[in-house]
Amino acid sequence: MATSGPGAIHLLNGLYDAKMDHVPVLAIVGQVARISLGTDFQQEVNLVSLFSDVASAYTVQVSTPAGVRQAIDRGMRIAIATRSPTCVIIPKDVQEMDAEAPPHKHGAVFTGSGYVAPKVVPVAEDLDRAAEILNEGKRVAILVGAGCLGAGDRVLQTADRLGAGIAKALLGKAVCPDDAPGVISLRGEPHRRCANDLAGAFAAPPVQDGSLVSAGSGEEHPGLEADRGGARAYPPTQSTLSGSLPRHRPGFRPTASSPQTPARRRAGSP
């Protein structure tokens, strides 16, 4: 929450941090009174413009008390659903008015209460491809990131099954303990050589018979963007939206043998 103008500008660094690490945040920001909008009034900054990049999923300036409820509701739902910042801007005079429920008439918009995260399931052919790469790899490495937070046990089980080493991306530090079997700590600039070497070796020709699976990490590593003469990697390309998907939920078990026809195939096939 911040006041208008310079106070609002102070939020930007934190909000960009949230955006890039996929943390939902609703920023509620003040603005000059409606009568002063567009007049270069003291501390007036075009906040819709200022926030529309960092809060690209949803930035709105409300103009009446009756519109606030829907704006806050959407701001929160969209922040959670997209794992990104959203922003609601409230002019000073609107802040000072009494709260008002939207009237039951044409033009007012309502939603239900609560939010239930969707269960996102990979399509079967992607899972088959990942399984094939892992099964073929004689030496398997797993790079885990923030997307695996809360799924540490399953990561360790998978590593145990495959005899794999686990390197953690910075944001995946809390996925599993550093002293668990097969875990060789963090990769990344200020961190352990062995973890960097693990990922590095798989990107370059030294490891020909290996497979590297990147689980819940958007971290780039030169050479991992494609299968280029070294190990085979999954996913084959960095998914630009991977961090926006809902985080692992306990009990969520995707399987390759899902009986359901994947939606994508159903929609696209003749």
Q: Hey, which residues between 191 and 230 contact another protein (CB under 8 A)?
A: 191-193, 196-197, 218
Q: Is 72 helix (H, G, I), strand (E, B) or coil?
A: helix
Of the pair 229, 254, the CB lying nearest another protein is at: 229
Q: Is 36 helix (H, G, I), strand (E, B) or coil?
A: helix
Residues in the interface with another protein (CB under 8 A) total: 22
Cα angle vertex 42, ends 37, 44, to 5°? 45
Question: Which of 146, 156, 162, 201: binder of another protein (CB under 8 A)?
Answer: 146
CB of 218 to another protein, least distance (A): 8
10/43 Cα distance (integer angstroms): 13
DSSP 8-state code for residue 198 = H
173 binds another protein (CB under 8 A): yes
CB-CB contact of 138 with 209 (8 Å): yes
53 binds another protein (CB under 8 A): no
Question: Which of 89, 171, 207, 213: binder of another protein (CB under 8 A)?
Answer: 171
Length of the chain, please? 270
Helix, strand, coil content of the chain in percent (nearest 5): 35, 15, 50
CB of 243 to another protein, least distance (A): 9
CB of 171 to another protein, least distance (A): 4
Question: Which of 118, 189, 250, 259: binder of another protein (CB under 8 A)?
Answer: 189
CB of 146 to another protein, least distance (A): 7
Question: Which residue type does 149 have?
Answer: L
CB of 195 to another protein, least distance (A): 9
64/95 Cα distance (integer angstroms): 9
Question: Which residue type does 190 have?
Answer: P
Query: Of the ranges 77-85, 112-120, 186-194, 233-241, which one interacts with another protein (CB under 8 A)?
Result: 186-194
Give me the DSSP letters along 168-182: E-GGGTTSS-TTSTT
Question: Which of 174, 226, 241, 263: binder of another protein (CB under 8 A)?
Answer: 174
In terms of C-beta density within 10 A (0-12 exposed, 13-18 middle, 19 or more buried), how is residue 202 classed?
buried
Query: Of the ranges 124-132, 151-159, 171-179, 249-257, which one interacts with another protein (CB under 8 A)?
Result: 171-179
CB of 35 to another protein, least distance (A): 34
9/235 Cα distance (integer angstroms): 37
CB-CB contact of 175 with 148 (8 Å): yes
Of the pair 19, 232, the CB lying nearest another protein is at: 19
Of the pair 193, 264, the CB lying nearest another protein is at: 193
17 binds another protein (CB under 8 A): yes
Distance in angstroms between the alpha carbons of the first and the last residue of the chain: 51
161 binds another protein (CB under 8 A): no
Contact set with another protein (CB under 8 A): 13-14, 16-17, 19-21, 146, 169-171, 173-174, 186, 189-193, 196-197, 218
